[in-house]
Structure 1
Amino acid sequence: MTGLVDHRGQPLRREVMTRDVAGPSIGSVRSPISGYPADGMTPVRLAQILRAADMGSPLAYFELAEQIEERDLHYVGIMGTRKRSVAQIDVTVDAASDKPLDVEIADRMRRWIDRDELADETFDILDAVGKGDSFTEIIWDMSAGQWQPLRLEWRDPRWFTYDRKDGRTPLLRGGESGISADSPLPAFKFIRHTVKAKSGLPVRSGLARIAAWAWMFKAFTQRDWAIFTQTYGQPVRIGKFRAGASSEDKNTLFRAVANIAGDCAAIVPEGMSIEFIESKNVGSGSDLYEKRSDWLDRQLSKAVLGQTGTTDTKSGGLGDGGNKVHGDVREDIETADCKALAATLNRDLVRPWVDLEYGPQAAYPRLRIARPKAEDVKGLVEALQTLVPMGMRVQMSEVRDKFGLSDPDANAELLRAPASPATPDRLAQPSLSLVRALQAAGAGKAATIPADAVADRLNAETAPDMAELLEQIEAMMDAAGDLGEFREMLLAAYPDLPIARLAGKIGNSLVAAHAAGRFDIEEGASDA
């Protein structure tokens, strides 16, 4: 146990496995209270935040990424769509082999993933889609004397940083105590998931870095739109007073003009008037801001979902036509997310779990996350109708799996194909020929000679064994173009034909027929 190391070369330390090591704590650098770098954001300030993240200080960047999701309704909507499209797909487990131990391990994995919490846990792990990296702490349970994940706890990415030497190796901010130096992540304790919107450092690969600029420009547009609406959305009020009006009259008129927008009512002395002058470009000016905001939203939809058609309902958009989508996410993006998440779970959860409980193995079970492919059931049936009579051997269990049917119980009532009307005649033909031959050999004694009874019994006992065989052979004869092709079909279909039971019955019948013949001859000789 003490010799186990993780994929980063970190040795196992048993004392940290069952306790939290990356949670918030009083007086530590891992505080649940976040900063608000998005307040008063400017292009210069945004560039500084991104540059600091590249240099190994991603704290402000992770805080900004969180705020963008909170302040942009469109961005949080499409990000949630992309993450939930993967989190809701069922997870399956493939055993490493058919060995009893491998099957036992796989069954144990299946029981664990069949939990209601798994969808929420995978949704949190997919936080890496926006931020580039996500860190989930595994809290292990040994109460039953066996290693098993008790829960998966999402940890705020603000509590992690990167080694300045390579910009890739994750470090726990403040160490395990929260007040010491940054330290490497303990072995077998964390699921670190990285999503690549582009190649490069992990902190530069998330979609939040791309979305930050669009969010800032849209925020500027929305602010200007609000100012424009407030200024030109209401008509300009102009108050007029008579010549020689006193200061008190002027103040009264001004208060009336200032308050009329909010109160929608005012009184002025006789002789004073108020005029309303409406702007002529309110509609066109408002459309300009709206079009700019919608354009930026469409660019975000392309970056996050790979298309815009199903989110913006814009005819002729990227999502219309040739791109396959699953609800709202393009198929290639969803498939890539599924494969990346499965690879992360196999590396950081499945393999450590197996090593802890069973020790290092030559092969490990694998989690698979994939949307089931639609089967062409009609095409499969048509192919089987052609290929099976030609000699192709197909497992019935595989066909049932394709149709989603279970194996029938021992006493279950089964559906059966209707019997072919030609089958009895074909089966009876060999027996009829044999009887006629025996009748001819018996010189009119067919009704009394024992050979007739032997032939009838042979036909009755071999018919069940011959029925299915003859049907398949006749189908091959119909499909074959010549005798050579028919021979190849027979060899492919029956390389190891089980004929022992049929041969035994025929052998016994031949012995009986031989005895019956001798009896007929001797009886005939005595009659003569």
Structure 2
Amino acid sequence: MAESPILQRDGRPFETTELTEELAAPTLTGVRSVWTQGVAAGMTPARLASILQAAADGNAHDYLTLAEEMEERDPHYAAVLGTRKRAVSGLPVHVEAASDDGPGVKLADAVRELVRRPAFGYLVDDQLDALGKGYSVSEILWDRSGATWEPMAYKHRDPRFFEFTDASGLEKLGLLDDSQPGQPLPMPGYKFVTHVPRLKSGIPLRGGLARLVAFGWICKAYTMKDWIAFAEVYGMPLRLGRYGPGASERDVSILRQAVANIGSDAAAVLPRSMEIEFQDVASGGGSGNTDLFERLADWVDRQTSKGVLGQTMTTDAQSAGLGSNQAGVHNEVRGDILAADAKQLSDTLNRDLVRPYIDLNFGPQPAYPRIELQVIEPEDIEGLTKALERLVPLGLRVGGSTMRDKLGLPDPDDDEEVLTPPQGAPSGPPPALNRRSTRDRSGLETALNRTDAPAPADAIDDLTEALAGDDEWEEQLEPLIDPIEQLAAEVDSPEAFRARLPELLERMDAGELLEKLANATFRARGLGDANDGDN
């Protein structure tokens, strides 16, 4: 066999031919048989205790079988465990490049293409089976027909095909094989994706959720059994047959047969001298508290919800006086569990899938791209929008890409049509109003202390613009400016200029300018009085 120059995590090279072979496929017979014997039927507390103890000692076959059957037999446990799994599998997958240079981006793009394939989603689902059982293993079937190594499929393998070895302190998995009975084979690198969630400290087989809820499950199983037996005995009314004093043995036999068969036949033929009476025993006070079984089963379900989800509000809608607020508080606790599950699974995928894929196709790297299952916290869109309306006018700089990420919107393409404000719509907040205001031509009142809005246009503004655009201002200012320029040319020092300033008053002619300013002031005063009359 050809050895790869790439080393496994333990420093040993691996055989490249092993990557394209199925090493953990099930068989009809042997230690990886597809047939198995159930253990849940007739389960007793003593039997459950022995199964859990055997798993803690490393023999987890019966425990893993029981964990599988618990999901099949208890709808509530299956629902909450499925909720926890789907909460992780439904997260968006983000690939972060190890660096922003060309090679780093190229590696990240290759991993992004890998996670876009449907098989990757199935791999995530299969790896989450570890939440209930303590670990999950998927075998990578590599395809070498092309120029690159590509995962052709991810085959989920029965956890009973593997076993934790005592030499590793029950922390390292080995593959069971008929070639070495009782001695698990080492699992080759780059071949298996093995997820062992750290739900609690200690050996992995003591950390599965199935072990946590097993005692509650058997209590509920006994409760359901007794409840059904109670309903079978007391659920149907007691049937009493009455016969008269002159009834013969044959008459009594007929009546007894009719009473016995009426439960299923719901019909009987009797002489007039006989009668059958139905008594509702289950609703009477003598039968005890008939809702005891239901309350006990509900209590066990709530404990299961707490153990699996960390709360009960999302699975059992109960009135607690706080409504959705209390549900929101409980969902935050579940969010912590979701974040931990997502991080641990991301670490597993980066170790057992991303690194092998990069090493086989691009060689060992100093840093590798990372897969992240992103837990996106919901944004308060309304609160964020109001804050930006106040802060952006004050100078806060906010990137458009950052805001699109918070809103969950992708960046628009260069040729994509984008939304814009309608024509004529105000670009800023509406003008503030107060009692001291000016009235523009449209009749709208605008606060005088507004600094960000332009002053309303009126007749005085028109007059000012007309005067500023008058071409005669230069000629009218010449009699005032020319004497100053002449005096500046005659003297040779600032002191001499200041000493001769009084004689400028006699040389300046401001008559024409004063006349024009007086006319403009008179017109402005008239316009102002006219506007005051409108208010």
Q: What's the TM-score once normalised by structure 2's chain length?
A: 0.72
- Which of 342, 348, 351 aligns to 1:347? It is 351
The separation in 2 between residues aligned to 1:135 and 1:262, in whole angstroms, is 51
From 165, 174, 178, give the equivalent of 1:171.
Answer: 174
Counterparts of 2:23 and 2:332 in 1: how far apart (Å)? 38
How many residues align? The count is 427
1:372 equivalent among 365, 373, 376: 376
Structure 2: how far apart are the matches of 1:328 and 1:254?
63
Any conservation in 1 of the 2:161–2:176 contact (CA below 8 Å)?
yes
Aligned to 1:124: 126
Distance in 2, matches of 1:21 and 1:234, equals 58
Q: Distance between the aligned counterparts of 2:333 and 2:151, measured in 1?
A: 31
Give the corresponding residue for 1:77.
79
In the other structure, the counterpart of 1:308 is 312
1:110-133 CA deviation, whole Å, 9 max, x = no partner?
112112343332121101111111
1:465 counterpart residue number: none
- Pick from 323, 335, 339 the counterpart of residue 339 of structure 2: 335
Task: Give the match for residue 409 of structure 1.
Answer: 414
The one-letter code of the counterpart of 1:130 is G
Q: TM-score, normalised by structure 1?
A: 0.73
Q: Which residues of 2 match residues 395-474 of structure 1 at below 5 A?
A: 397-398=401-402, 401-402=405-406, 404=409, 406=411, 409=414
Deviations 1:382-435 (A, max 9, x none): 4443344xxx6x66654555563636738989969979869xx9xxxxxxxxx9
Alignment partner for residue 53 of structure 1, among 48, 55, 60? Answer: 55
Say whether residues 1:386 and 2:425 are aligned partners.
Answer: no
**In the alignment, which of 238, 241, 251 is matched to residue 240 of structure 2?**
238
Is the 2:313–2:327 contact (alpha carbons within 8 Å) kept by the matching residues of 1? no
Matches within 5 A, 1:287-302: 287-302=291-306
Pair member with larger Rg: 2
1:345 positional shift: 0.5
Q: How far apart are 1:57 and its partner, in Å?
A: 0.9
Cα distance in 2 between the residues matched to 1:298 and 1:282: 30
- Note the alpha carbon deviations across 1:274-314, whole angstroms, 9 max, x for none: 33332114886331111111111111111111111121101
Amino acid at match of 1:385: P
User: Once the two structures are superposed, what CA deviation does each residue of 1:347-375 show, in whole Å capped at 9, x if it has no partner?
Assistant: 11111111111121111101111132344
SS of residue matched to 1:122: helix
Aligned position for 1:65: 67
Alignment match of 1:150 (pick from 148, 152, 162): 152
Report the Cα distance in structure 2 between the residues aligned to 1:318 and 1:155, rounded to whole angstroms. 45
1:106 paired residue among 83, 108, 115: 108
Q: For structure 2, list consecutive stretches of 5 or more residues without a partner in the other structure.
A: 429-452, 456-460, 462-472, 483-535
- Aligned-residue CA RMSD (Å): 3.4
Q: SS state of the match for residue 285, structure 1?
A: coil
Q: Percent identity?
A: 42
Q: Which residue of 2 aligns with 1:253?
A: 255
In the TM superposition, residue 319 of structure 1 has moved relative to its aligned partner by 9.6
CA–CA separation in structure 1 for the residues paired with 2:330 and 2:355? 31
Residue 412 of structure 2 contacts residue 418 of structure 2 at CA under 8 Å; is this kept in 1? no
Preserved contact between residue 229 and residue 286 of structure 1 (Cα < 8 Å): no
Contact 2:51 2:62 (C-alpha < 8 Å) held by counterparts: yes
Range 359-368 or range 10-19, more displaced:
10-19
Structure 1 match to 2:223: 221
Please name the residue that 2:533 is paired with.
none
Residue 189 of structure 1: how far off its partner (Å):
1.1
Check 1:99–1:178 CA distance in 2 against 1; reply closer, same or farther (3 A cut).
Answer: farther
Q: 1:190 to 1:69 in 2, by over 3 A?
A: same
AA in 2 matched with 1:364 = Y
> Contact (CA 8 Å) 2:119, 2:154: kept in 1 or not?
no
Q: Which whole-Å deviations, capped at 9, do the CAs of 1:442-461 have from their partners, x for residues lacking one?
A: x87xxxxxxxxxxxxxxxxx
Q: Deviations over 1:291-345 (max 9, x none)?
A: 1111111111111111111211012299964564797981111111111111110
